[in-house]
Structure 1
Amino acid sequence: MTKFSRRSFLRSTGMAGAAALAAPLVARAAGDTIKIGGLHDLSGALDSVGVPMNQVFKLAIDEINEAGGLLGKMVEPVIYDPQSNMSLYSQYATQMALKDRVDVVMGGITSASRETIRPIFHRYKTFYFYNTQYEGGVCDRNEITLGTTPAQTVARLIPYGMKLYGKKVYTIAADYNYGHITAAWVKRYVEENGGEVVETEFFPLDVAQFGATISKIQGAKPDFVLSALVGTSHLGFYRQWAASGMKSEIPVMSTVLGAGGSDQLILTAEEGNGITASFGYFEEIDNPTNKAFLAKVAAAYPDKDWVMSEISEVTYEGVKMWADAVADAGTTDRDALLEVLTSGKTYDMPAGKVKIDPKTQHAIRDVYIAELQDQIFNILESYPNSPPADTQMVCDLVANPDSNQHFEISL
């Protein structure tokens, strides 16, 4: 398939080679370039997500350099491929901080990868942007978090589904912290709206067979299924669900499908039609900024085999917001950049209006509900200026600027 040959090319040309780690931590020396780290899975289990993130990451850097760079210098990407391997995530994060001495890092996909690298960057004061939807709860002055949390998406999706279909919900989710915490939020929002979660099941990321679960769902007769399944293997559920004939009887809503930009293309229209999802970005958003952005992406990657998703668009946001703060502050110093980013400034992004909540350093952003039809998400509802209310329950970086923790929010 052409997809794999392009990824092989990306891996051979876009990934910096591993080198020995520098020993002591020393002050970053002024160089000829400003260095920005990219730490996305270009191979491994999540390369279908990481490759688009990396491509949009490089596009944003190219735009900055074409406009003259920052502070009279070009921006230099430093890219590594952690291969969905936590040991490599740790190795490359340490290398970026100590040897490469990058000024900022965009990276991590799963919460496991974030919690592997976040403490490293915090320790060495390497500014870090996490640009992925996740379960909420990170409270770290060294991190800007731009992806959506359950209070922004699940909180919209559940009432919408219950109003449309009914109050009995069957939850299926990935068996790691994102899936478990998202399932807990599903239960909370279902019960707050007078409903019942009739069953919750968790599946390791490598599980691809769901026949027994489909039989259990048939027996439970929920009004709809809420899926927080993650990754390519879990797409087997949607295929098997359609093949069983259940797709026309019990609707499916998802907090994840389409997040990486290739799920809706891997599934046929017959398998995917009717699945509803909620994210902070869909390619179909109709505003001038998004249209211009998609035109740039199409020009840079005319043979891309993925659809723009929240995770990729938010990666673009991260680079552009960081660059705007550098230009505004006149420095790459983290604390000076945080002053700009948390000042209440609103950014006009392809996804809509985005600003940083000073308490949590998470994004307050527009959120959307959309339904998949013929491999395209059609936007049904929009919710402007949605705050990360879940993380606001546990995090206040204004009052506690030294916080460095991932809170498991009590539900």
Structure 2
Amino acid sequence: MSSPRYEPVKIGVLYSTTGVTGLIESSQQSATLFAADEINRAGGINGREVQLHVRDPGSVAANYASMAEELIVEKGVRLIMGCYMSSGRKLVIPVVERHNALLFYPTLYEGFEYSRNVFCTGTLPNQTCVPLADYMLEKFGSRVFMIGSDYIYPYETSRIMKDLVFERGGETVGEIYVPLDASEDHYRAIATRIASQSPDFVFSTVVGVGVERLYRSFAKSGLDPSVTPIASVTTSEAEIAAMGAHLGEGHFTSASYFQCVDTAMNRSCLDNYRRFMGGDAVTNMCWEAAYFQMQVLANAMRDVGSDNPVSLLRAIPGMEFDAPQGRIRMDEENHHAYLHTRIGRANATGQFDIVASMPERLRADPFVIVHTPVNDGPSAQGRHTVAGG
């Protein structure tokens, strides 16, 4: 049943602005606020205002679930944007399923999951790890050291990357997982170990405050990114802005979006976002997913004339949207997104130079059924000369 014509559309927002992942989640919250402002300025949802109910889970997994329950039961929210780490998402899913609400999840994650009550707009390993493995093995060599934060996503993603490296004739020379709040001394010891192993590159799934500690320890240990770079699927412009461009320069990230993406939609979106924020603003892959999923939801609600989850479950699958990264599509079968894959090398300004890109958007494969990307790998067009290649 449709909501009353002029009643606000209630949307819950569960992004941490404090705690170990507060930096990146703050950007997701900002993107959500920005998208809601754009939607309301354009007349809302068929005249209905989007009303955000914002909570800060503090990077504590259990808080995401309890706050989702509170939003649904006490505030009447049926649509929720949020979660970053898989530990939080996995606790929220039973809550939205029990109440037949919807969760929109804009964060890269490990896959191996499906819920009819969840739409995932972040990247999966087949969209980032497969192209990254091909690129790094070709350009730098076959000996890989793996480091990740100690939770579900890094374990599963590194497992997939190990398979990809092995299948391509490579070797994992070391693997370690680090507590989310590990000290810089802890990272310094790991950097020393990495140097002793002499890998060709380091695959990182470190998140949160650990990103700066890893890259700083890497630099202090004398490891040269032109010889032994970090190749990450989690380090974005947000982390580089926080730690300083000099620490990120020369390292690689595989993502669906970088701030430097040269599309008309991205240029327009950046101009509008800077006006919204009142000055310079740094965007990143998680910011972009949080932004476009709000716009996809808004378009679906306009189409069906309702914010009823049952109606939206019929409307969202198959929808397309011109996102800042390029045109995306919500998969009809698995509730994930077709996304554009790029590999970027961080430069001296804190931004990325795109050194490789897939020629077509990639369909999300949550169960990594295929270990090769479409069109046999990154396109040569747009590649830059890479030291060590």
Is TM-score (shorter-chain normalized) higher than 0.5?
yes
Q: How many residues align?
A: 364
Distance 1:161 1:312 in 2: 26
Distance 2:243 2:52 in 1: 33
Kindly, what percent of the aligned residue pairs are identical?
Answer: 29
Moved more, 73-82 or 330-339: 330-339
Correspondence 1:11-90 to 2 at 5 A: 30=4, 32-90=7-65
Q: Deviations over 1:265-306 (max 9, x none)?
A: 1233332111010111110000100000001110011245x5
Tell me how far 1:29 sits from its aligned partner: 6.9
Tell me how far 1:335 sits from its aligned partner: 2.8
Match of 1:331 in 2: 306
Match of 2:245 in 1: 269
* 8 Å Cα contact 1:368/1:379 also seen in 2: yes
Correspondence 1:212-251 to 2 at 5 A: 212-248=189-225, 249-251=227-229
Distance 1:192 1:132 in 2: 27
SS of residue paired to 1:54: helix
Q: 1:282 to 1:336 in 2, by over 3 A?
A: same
Tell me how far 1:142 sits from its aligned partner: 0.6
SS of residue paired to 1:156: helix
Match of 2:384 in 1: none
Residue 323 of structure 2 aligns with an amino acid whose one-letter code is M
Match of 1:401 in 2: none
Alignment pair present for 1:359 and 2:333: yes
Q: Deviations over 1:96-152 (max 9, x none)?
A: 111111131101111111111111011101111011111112200011000001110
Q: 1:176 to 1:74 in 2, by over 3 A?
A: same
SS of residue paired to 2:210: coil
Alignment pair present for 1:172 and 2:147: yes
* 8 Å Cα contact 1:242/1:270 also seen in 2: no
Which of 120, 136, 157 is the equivalent residue of 1:182?
Answer: 157
Distance 2:110 2:279 in 1: 33
Q: Deviations over 1:390-411 (max 9, x none)?
A: 43649xxxxxxxxxxxxxxxxx
* 8 Å Cα contact 1:153/1:255 also seen in 2: yes
Residue 176 of structure 2 aligns with an amino acid whose one-letter code is E
Correspondence 1:276-291 to 2 at 5 A: 276-291=252-267
Distance 1:56 1:212 in 2: 36
- The normalised TM-score by structure 2 is 0.89
Distance 1:274 1:122 in 2: 43
> Aligned Cα RMSD in Å?
1.8
Match of 2:188 in 1: 211
Match of 2:83 in 1: 108
Distance 1:115 1:363 in 2: 19
- The normalised TM-score by structure 1 is 0.85
Match of 2:378 in 1: none
SS of residue paired to 1:216: helix
Match of 2:269 in 1: 293
Distance 1:29 1:329 in 2: 11
Match of 1:386 in 2: 362
Distance 1:222 1:151 in 2: 23
Residue 232 of structure 2 aligns with an amino acid whose one-letter code is S
Alignment pair present for 1:370 and 2:344: yes
Distance 2:50 2:8 in 1: 6
Q: 1:272 to 1:72 in 2, by over 3 A?
A: closer
* 8 Å Cα contact 1:279/1:367 also seen in 2: yes
Q: Deviations over 1:300-343 (max 9, x none)?
A: 11245x5201111111111100010011112222232222221x
Distance 2:261 2:152 in 1: 30
* 8 Å Cα contact 1:255/1:277 also seen in 2: yes
Q: 1:215 to 1:190 in 2, by over 3 A?
A: same
Q: Which runs of 5+ in 2 are unaligned?
A: 371-389
SS of residue paired to 1:247: coil
Which of 116, 122, 127 is the equivalent residue of 2:102?
Answer: 127
